[in-house]
Amino acid sequence: MKKQLSANEQIIANDVMRYKKNTLASALALLGLVFNCLYFTVLYAMPKSEFTTISIGFSVLLTLVVLLTIFLSSEGVKGYNKKFAIVLLVVAVFQILRIFYYPLMGIRDNLLIDADSLHTIGYFGYYPHDSSAFFFTLMLVYLLASAACLIASAVWGWIVADRLEKFQAKLDSGEADVMEAVRQLNAEEEAQNKNNAQAAPLKPAEREVQ
């Protein structure tokens, strides 16, 4: 069970954010980026598919924009910037929308791809030769996973950034004082240590002396 923090401990916990990056939100965003990469490695590894048209060029461009946006946003949320949480959310929605283009199109129209000539780092291992739908499902899963990571990153980034914003307002208004909290906690710890030392059982040699 999570320990209930005292008011002073809460101040310290919040103050840590002022000096530490939001690495969790950033890592989640980057994981979303990795899933996006896996998605396009499968998509662009289909040499004889129906997709090798002019639209694939547009898709490449879009992918580059998505990659760049996710990367920059991951740095943004790392620095507790709320705006980038919104950007990540928008990209996540876009990733979900992408599901309805290539992957669903492939599954719905039962597009055939030459599975033997498909070499991609997006998938290793056994694949069913009789169904190309397997690869489109894989692309769908990657996009969903990417979107899920981006949403998680955006939500966590927003929550923590909001907490830090409120804490900063408290600091500015003088409602919270970090150094006072540090002093009080140190004093409490010192008193606790003293009590523990007094309560500690005597060693045999000390008992003999007494």
Partner 1 sequence: MPEVNIRHLDKIYDGGVQAVYDFNLDIHDGEFIVLVGPSGCGKSTTLRMVAGLEDITKGELVIDGKDCTRMPPKDRDIAMVFQNYALYGHMTIYENMAFSLTLRKEDKMVIHRKVMAAAEILDLKTQLNKKPRQLSGGQRQRVAMGRAIVRNPKLFLFDEPLSNLDAQLRGSMRRELMLLHRRLNATIMYVTHDQTEALTLADRIVCMSMGHVQQIGKPIDLYDHPANTFVATFIGLPPMNMFNGKVEGGDFVCDWFRYPLDERQLKALEGYDGKEVILGVRPENIVKDGPVSLSVTNNENLGMNTLVHGKVAGQKNIVCKFAEWSHYKFGDEIRIGFDAEKVHFFELPSGEIPGKALL
* Binding stretches for partner 1 (CB under 8 A): 9, 12-13, 15-16, 18-20, 178-179, 182, 185-186
102-115 as b/e, with b when 16 or more CB fall inside 10 Å?
A: bbeebbeeebebee
How near is the Cβ of 166 to partner 1 at its closest, in Å?
18
Using CA atoms, how far apart are residues 61 and 59, in angstroms rounded to an integer? Answer: 5
| CB nearer partner 1, residue 54 or residue 179 | 179
Using CA atoms, how far apart are residues 163 and 146, in angstroms rounded to an integer? Answer: 26
| CB nearer partner 1, residue 20 or residue 48 | 20
How near is the Cβ of 75 to partner 1 at its closest, in Å?
15
| CB nearer partner 1, residue 17 or residue 155 | 17
| CB nearer partner 1, residue 154 or residue 176 | 176
Using CA atoms, how far apart are residues 73 and 68, in angstroms rounded to an integer? Answer: 8
How near is the Cβ of 195 to partner 1 at its closest, in Å?
18
Instruction: Please list, in sequence order, all residues whose beta carbon lies within 8 angstroms of the beta carbon of residue 139, skipping any fewer than 6 positions away.
Output: 39, 42, 43, 102, 103, 106
| CB nearer partner 1, residue 40 or residue 167 | 167
Using CA atoms, how far apart are residues 12 and 154, in angstroms rounded to an integer? Answer: 24
Report yes or no: 24 and 155 within 8 Å, Cβ to Cβ.
Answer: no
How near is the Cβ of 182 to partner 1 at its closest, in Å?
5
How near is the Cβ of 12 to partner 1 at its closest, in Å?
5
How near is the Cβ of 209 to partner 1 at its closest, in Å?
17
Q: For the CA atoms of 132, 100, 138, 61, what is the dihedral angle to 10 degrees? A: 100
Question: Two tokens at 167?
Answer: 């804490």
3-state secondary structure of 123: coil
| CB nearer partner 1, residue 3 or residue 129 | 3
